[in-house]
Structure 1
Amino acid sequence: MNNALHGVLRPLGAALVVVSLAAGHAAAQPADREFPRAWDGDPDLNGIWQALGTAHWDIQDHPASAGPSEFGAIGAAPPGQGIVAGNEIPYQPWALEQKQRNFENRYIDDPEVKCYMPGVPRATYLPYPFQIIQGTGKIMIVYGFADANRTIHMDKANPEPAPIDSWMGRSHGRWEGDTLVVEAAGFNGQAWFDRAGNFASDALRVTERYRPLSPDALMYEATIEDPNVFTRPWTMRMPLYRRLEEHAQVLEFECVEFSEGILYDHLRRQATQ
């Protein structure tokens, strides 16, 4: 073999070895990273999940802001990137004014302060883990805050309206490929979306999408429709992450005992002279 030909084949052979090793690694990887499947072939969402970020304080882009001075840094809100697509919430003019009033009175009027159930989609991005329990005809989601939970009815060909409005509404789901799509309605109109005072009315309808990204991550999307408050539908989007601790649990946050003063002090009998 002449030197010129040997000079061509030697790097070519090295390249083939590299390609072969890379191909072998790529072929082995999907089996390790395949999203788990339930018995019926749909993605298995069972597990404990949690959102990371600052949507709990404000679902839009926001700077750091102070809280009550007596709480110092503990009461302040950290800066954060929003989860609203386009960073715009299309409020009607009156509703934008109401949102501003909500923000000004957030330490008294936010339903979270009173330990009320968080509603949908706020329950998803509170700073606590939640558990998905996936059955054949129902999927249950259990949240730690205020004993909140919801059942997603997967076995209703014709979704039924909620018999009564509630904090968590009524949810019906279906699979679109590997994405769980949930239609939620029947809300009481008292829940907020965050501590910044973003809100909706009892005409709220939420379409959620849970799309697997990897065995340990979901992309969560919630489309908000409420013609009483907004001029058009809008969407928020964020990843959810699986909690990987060996003994991860959803611990109940029985918060009502910390809210008794706000809830009931006005009912207490005043001492008489």
Structure 2
Amino acid sequence: MRLHMIPSSAAVASAVALALVVPVPAAAQAPEQGREPARTADGQPDIQGLWNNVEAFFVPFERPSELDAQAEVSADALQAVLEEQAEQKVAAADSGTGAGPLHWYEYGATSEPGSTPSLVVDPPDGRLPALTPFGSQRREYYQVHRHDAAETIAPSDRCVSRGLLGKMLPTFYNNGKMILQAPGYVVIFSEMIHNARIIPLDGRPRIADGIRLWEGDARGRWEGNTLIVETTNYRDMGEMRGSDLHTEQLRIVERFTVVDGETIDYEARIDDPKTFTAAWTVAYPFKRDPSYQIFEYACHEANYSVPHMLSGARAEEARAAAGRQ
């Protein structure tokens, strides 16, 4: 059972429950033969509705070191790793100060034979490529100094954005997506921070290179039953995942392939040559879930932690300076 913190007046509900299983790799699924998806008035495959990727929550992002590099692993080996990781996540979530209450989180997945051992599907070993010297140096620096000044505090801490990957990858909570379509557009509204991605499909030119956005500038097109979205024009130092920050060179190409009326295979190719030595790809399915309720993302209202921390640090600096005079 999923539990959220605060319900929204805009919550959408209907019927069909979610089967909680770890997904098979996106590449392993194929559209049903002879069945075409419904179409919108302007001819797009109709993917409107509520979707989520909570099934992929317990799939490791990278292949666990306990598993070797073979293409598939046994169900027992994968289950053992997933159970250990699940216990660690539950323990961390219920450990008191430093983590949210356990009922915030969307636990409850199981594995099945032949399931993918990682969300990362390329490189084939399921591990991220090495960081560049610049990427490695910046990771090490911001692991220590991220909160040294107001200017470097992460946009997620400010409840501004978790980045494109942060809103699309399965995470602890808020895995819902509402997809809307209008002539010439696809809109993806995410439960995470409630940002809406407005994706034009009309082939318009990109915004000027000097304009940089936290979640980039998206352009989309349909190739058959696959929506391809290419996003560029990111701001520097946006978040990708954990302590990994991207640069303005980041380019993400997403593919949303309609498998059937209940499944979209999602794939994202991430290329930031200043941060990583090679591009990499994640893949997993989204499942239609009309019963899913998108709740209010109450994040920063009445939260004075950042100004209090900064004002306290400035006061300490002032006292230290006064003592030296």
For residue 294 of structure 2, what is the aligned residue in structure 1? 250
Higher Cα Rg: structure 1 or 2?
1
CA distance in 1, matches of 2:285, 2:158: 28
Once the two structures are overlaid, the 10-residue window that deviates more, 67-76 or 200-209, is 67-76
TM-score of the aligned structures, taking structure 1 as reference length? 0.71
Write the deviation string for residues 117-172 of structure 1: whole angstroms up to 9, x where unpaired.
12212211243212111111122111223231221011134444466212111100
Compared with structure 1, are the counterparts of its residues 135 and 94 closer, same or farther at alpha carbon in structure 2 (3 Å cutoff)? Answer: same
Deviation at 1:105, TM superposition (A): 8.0
Pairwise CA distance, 1:174: 0.6
Deviation of the 1:94 alpha carbon: 4.1
**8 Å contact kept, 2:48–2:181:** yes
User: Within 1, Cα distance between the matches of 2:232 and 2:58?
Assistant: 22
2:271 alignment counterpart: 225
Contact 2:206 / 2:217 at 8 angstroms: preserved in 1? no
Please list every run of 5 or more consecutive structure 1 residues that lacks an aligned counterpart in the other structure. 1-28
Q: Counterpart amino acid of 2:234? A: F
Which of 123, 128, 145 is the matching residue for 2:192? 145
| Within-5 A mapping of 1:192-211 | 192-195=239-242, 197-211=243-257
Q: Aligned partner of 1:223: which letter?
A: R
**1:260/1:217 CA distance change after superposition, 3 Å:** farther
2:51/2:177 contact within 8 Å kept: yes
When residues 265 and 257 of structure 1 are mapped into structure 2, their CA distance, relative to the original with a 3 A threshold, is: farther
CA RMSD in angstroms, aligned pairs only: 3.8
SS at match of 1:262: helix
Structure 2 residue 115 is the aligned partner of structure 1 residue 84:
no
Which residue of 90, 93, 96 corresponds with 1:70? Answer: 96
C-alpha contact 2:228 2:253 (8 A) present in aligned 1? yes
Determine if contact 1:34/1:215 at 8 Å carries over to the other structure. Answer: no
Task: Identify, as 1 or 2, the structure richer in helix.
Answer: 1
Question: What corresponds to 1:188 in structure 2?
Answer: 235
Q: Offset at 1:70?
A: 3.4
Contact 1:59–1:194, Cα closer than 8 Å, also in 2: no
| Partner secondary structure for residue 223 of structure 1 | strand
Partner of 1:25: none
1:38 to partner: Cα distance: 1.6
Do residues 171 (structure 1) and 218 (structure 2) align?
yes
Query: 1:42 offset after TM fit, Å?
Result: 2.6
Take 1:61 and 1:263, find their aligned partners in 2: how far apart are those partners? 39
- Following the alignment from structure 1 to structure 2, what is the Cα–Cα distance between the partners of residues 93 and 261? 34
What is aligned with 1:60? 62
Separation in 1, partners of 2:101, 2:235:
29
Following the alignment from structure 1 to structure 2, what is the Cα–Cα distance between the partners of residues 104 and 55? 28
* More RCO (CA 8 Å, sep 6+): 2
Which residue identity lines up with residue 118 of structure 2 in the other structure? Answer: G
Q: Is the 8 A contact 1:151 1:170 kept in 2?
A: no
Answer whether contact 1:83 1:238 (CA < 8 A) is retained.
Answer: yes
Q: How does 1:257-272 map to 2 (within 5 A)?
A: 257=301, 259-262=303-306, 265-267=309-311
Of 36, 39, 42 in structure 2, the residue corresponding to residue 40 of structure 1 is 42
